Structure 1
Amino acid sequence: MEPQQIQTLLDETSEVCVSIYMPMFRWGREVQQNEIRFKNLMRDAASLLSIDQVCDSKCREAILKRLERFRDDEKQDAWRHPSAGLALFVTPKSLEVHQMGCTLTEQVHVGDRFYLRPLLPALHGDGRFVLIAVSQNQVRLFEGNADGLAERVPAELPENLKDALNIDEYITSIQHFSYARGGEVDTMYHGQGAGDDDPKQTILQFFHRMDDPLSLFLEGRNDPLVFAGVEYLYPVFKEAIRYRYLLPDSVHGNFDNASMDELHEKAWQVVKPHFQQECDRAISNYHDAYGQNLATNDLETILRASEMGAIEALLIREDTAIWGHVDRDGHVQDDGVPNEISHDLLDDAAVETLKNGGDVFVVREADFPEKDCSAVARLRFDVGAMTS
């Protein structure tokens, strides 16, 4: 999901907003369970909408009808081509569907705005990436994150580079005409121009054939794509593939016999700096701001500052939620679990921060800058001075 799509959801206004998140099966017989899961979540939504004072019967009926039409639409891409996760945002007048490349926790929320917390990692990348490992003997495609890889088998993706003609001649000529200069290897392509006898053009055509099924698999995503293969294939792959988020660095080697753990370890070394740059900078800036009295780890201060537009950058600990409410005196009451008056206070702080032009980062547990709190913020100005 693109950051601007999150901004669109922030701007949605309605008295009642329903947010539905669910993981999905993508292949095999298990795909049939997607409809069962969705029906269960519809029942949960109907139950929440039936609570006194949430909405009137007309509003409830309009929302449930939209969900029913979505469920029964056999042409809907979410059912025909399921992704790893599904996010739905519904009001009496609209239904917005987002297919997510990551698995989502099953949940339903009803309120006066959409619940966006599960989407926040997408603001700066959430560690999800796609890896394509190419060799003479096989082409393998994986979805990955910081924890591991899962192999995917899209239709029409070529199985191996032997499908291309003259690959042995191409590799022999590339190796023969590589030369060392200054400790680096410069590749000189050998061939007879752009005709069928040019090995480089043959491989380029093969990668062009790979582009359509790969583009279909990656459609609507902005996850970084990592190439794994012998070094001299990467420039040709890069020339042929249209996907905007192909990383400039690749994983070098022949991975025909590599395990997923080995592939993941090498791929993550390439991907991690891509994701960590902005987050590391935000953590460093937070520490620097402490000496200027422009940082806080106090939740009440964070909530107040977010409403005032005082937060420049909010950092939230991954996989945490604080369900509570703010009492009449402005103090946070931790409710422990969701109920009729509670909110995810971290979601509230994030939404207000984004509405006021601040930035939000979801930080992995191991990297979070404070040990005993779930959120910290770098401030634009001293909130205490403004309210004292």
Structure 2
Amino acid sequence: MTNAFKGIPEELLKPHASPCVSIFMPTSRTFPDNTQDPVRFKNLVSRAEADGIAFSTKREMAPLIERLRLLQDDASFWNHTLDGLAVFISPDYFRIFRLQQSVLEQAHVTDAFYIRPLIRIYQIVERFQVLALTRSEVKLYEGTRDHLDEIELAPEVPKTMTDALGTEITPPHMTIASYGGTGTAMRHGHSSRKDEEALDNERFFRAVDQGINEYHSSSSGLPLVLVALPEHQGLFRSISRNQRLVAEGIEIDPAALGLEAMRQKAWQVMEPYRERKIDQMIARFREAEGGKLGSDNPYAIAIAAVAGNVSHLLLDGQKFWPGQIDPVSGDILLDEASQASGRDVFEELGAAVLARGGEVLVLPSERMPSASGVAAIFRHD
């Protein structure tokens, strides 16, 4: 069974040139609260600079801090934040994530990116995308039960029919013929205007489907809800190759929906879809548990996780367990030092599983198949 929720971008799990700077902070969507966000970011950059110089050298940190200061001074960026922010930078990588959930304020400089705060956000089962499609415009949104926000389309995805077809948009073709030697000209259309529009629609939708699938759905792994007129729903679905396109769509002109109305309708589609996915995963865990290939014992799971023996991990989205995991033995450390570090055993479990090619799914507490807050399916006994 393939997990439909890939979550954390794979490039964050790959090795990068050191030093790797990871910055997290809560942000505000609205004025005047968002005026404090650049100040908080400035302080975090200063903290990262000091820690980075101690970890590596001032010379290695200087170009990274310079890029972060440019972001700090970018007023347009801070006018378009969401509920949280994650920034990752190294000598060979720079990426910013606007988050739909708040995160604790923190900065880390190590030889790998610190991704643990993203686990509960990016592996949550409630995440989805919405494709709003008309003949004239394409928009993509990402959301959860509570939020829906437009996201920037990859440059390769056409935003309009002109982007997709350019000068190849089919014009009406007319010919003039003379009959009976009378010199009377007769006009004949090779195809009706309706046929021409249908052809353009098909070519446009095919280009959109290819772009969304390749540059958004495949990388995010998120289910995709289509918002379009009924006739466009049918055409798009007949040509789509996107395996993440949800069977039920929203049959309405996207222009007739405000953002909040679109979120509500999308969640009406996604809620039963989410429940089915959870049911399937729980059933698989129960089957594995009965065959000694599943466990809800966090100590056993931690050992299996660092050994690369966890194929699927289910985490309770509301439970936290202060502590950390020994990266070699898998021992769970609950001493005062590990608890004071602010690290969470469940997030460390998730990071260990993801780093070794496993899949993680964060569930609401009421749907967890165990009271421990964690459940795992092993690759072998």
* TM-score normalized with structure 1 length: 0.62
In structure 2, the CA distance between the partners of 1:262 and 1:375, relative to structure 1 (3 Å rule), is: same
Specify the code of the residue in structure 2 equivalent to 1:307: V
Cα deviation digits, residues 72-92 of structure 1 (max 9, x gap): 16999993995645432234x
Say if 1:62 and 1:247 are closer, same or farther in 2 by CA, change over 3 A.
same
User: What is the alpha-carbon distance in structure 2 between the residues aligned to residue 368 and residue 95 of structure 1?
Assistant: 36
Residue type matched to 2:44 in 1? L
CA deviation after TM superposition for structure 1 residue 118, in Å: 3.6
Q: Secondary structure at the match of 1:321?
A: coil
Call closer, same or farther: CA 1:359–1:202 in 2, change over 3 Å. closer
Cα contact 1:131–1:267 (8 A) shared by 2: no
Deviations along 1:3-36, whole A, 9 cap, x unmatched? Answer: 5974433332677543223456679887765533
- Shift in CA distance, 275/14, structure 1 to aligned 2, threshold 3 Å: farther
Tell me the SS of whatever aligns to 1:370: coil
In structure 2, relative to structure 1, the CA distance for the partners of 1:354 and 1:130 (3 Å cut) is same
Q: State percent identity of aligned pairs.
A: 23
Instruction: Report what 2:48 is aligned to.
Output: 45
1:66 CA displacement = 0.4
Q: Distance in 1 between matches of 2:6 and 2:290?
A: 31
Matches within 5 A, 1:238-317: 247-253=246-252, 263-272=262-271, 275=274, 278-317=277-316
Which residue of 55, 66, 69 corresponds with 1:68?
A: 66
Alpha-carbon spacing, 1:9–1:337, altered in 2? closer, same or farther (3 Å): same
Measure, in 2, the Cα distance between the counterparts of 1:89 and 1:142: 23
Residues 1-388 of structure 1 correspond to what in structure 2 (within 5 A)? 3=6, 6-12=9-15, 17-22=20-25, 34-46=37-49, 49=51, 56=54, 58-59=56-57, 62-63=60-61, 65-72=63-70, 79=77, 84=82, 86-91=85-90, 93-100=91-98, 102-110=100-108, 111-120=110-119, 122=122, 126-130=126-130, 132=132, 143-149=142-148, 196=193, 200-201=197-198, 204=201, 222=220, 223-236=222-235, 247-253=246-252, 263-272=262-271, 275=274, 278-325=277-324, 330=331, 332-333=333-334, 335=336, 339-340=340-341, 343-371=343-371, 373-382=372-381
1:240 Cα offset (Å): 10
The alpha carbon displacement at 1:152 in A equals 9.0
Alignment CA distance shift 1:124-1:15 (3 Å): same
Question: 1:86 touches 1:100 (CA, 8 Å); kept in 2?
Answer: yes
Match of 2:185 in 1: none
Aligned to 1:386: none
CA drift at 1:319: 4.5
Structure 2 residue runs of 5 or longer lacking an equivalent are: 154-158, 161-188
Which protein, 1 or 2, shows the higher relative CO under an 8 Å CA cutoff with sep ≥ 6?
2
**Residue pair 2:132, 2:254 contacting (<8 A) in 1 also:** no
TM-score normalized by the length of structure 2: 0.63
Q: Distance in 1 between matches of 2:55 and 2:24?
A: 24
Taking the aligned partners of 2:239 and 2:36, their CA distance within structure 1 comes to 37
Deviations 1:343-368 (A, max 9, x none): 33223222322333332222223322
2-structure distance, mates of 1:125, 1:104: 17
State the SS of the aligned residue for 2:112.
coil
Q: 2:333 is matched by which residue type in structure 1?
A: V
Give the secondary structure class of the aligned counterpart of 2:292: coil
Distance 2:356 2:255 in 1: 50
CA distance in structure 1 between the partners assigned to 2:346 and 2:233 by the alignment: 42
Give the aligned residue type for 2:350. A
Distance in 1 (alpha carbons) for counterparts of 2:152 and 2:7: 30
- Count how many residue pairs are aligned between Structure 1 and Structure 2: 333
**Amino acid across the alignment from 2:38:** E
Alpha-carbon distance between aligned partners in 1 of 2:73 and 2:246, rounded to the nearest angstrom: 34
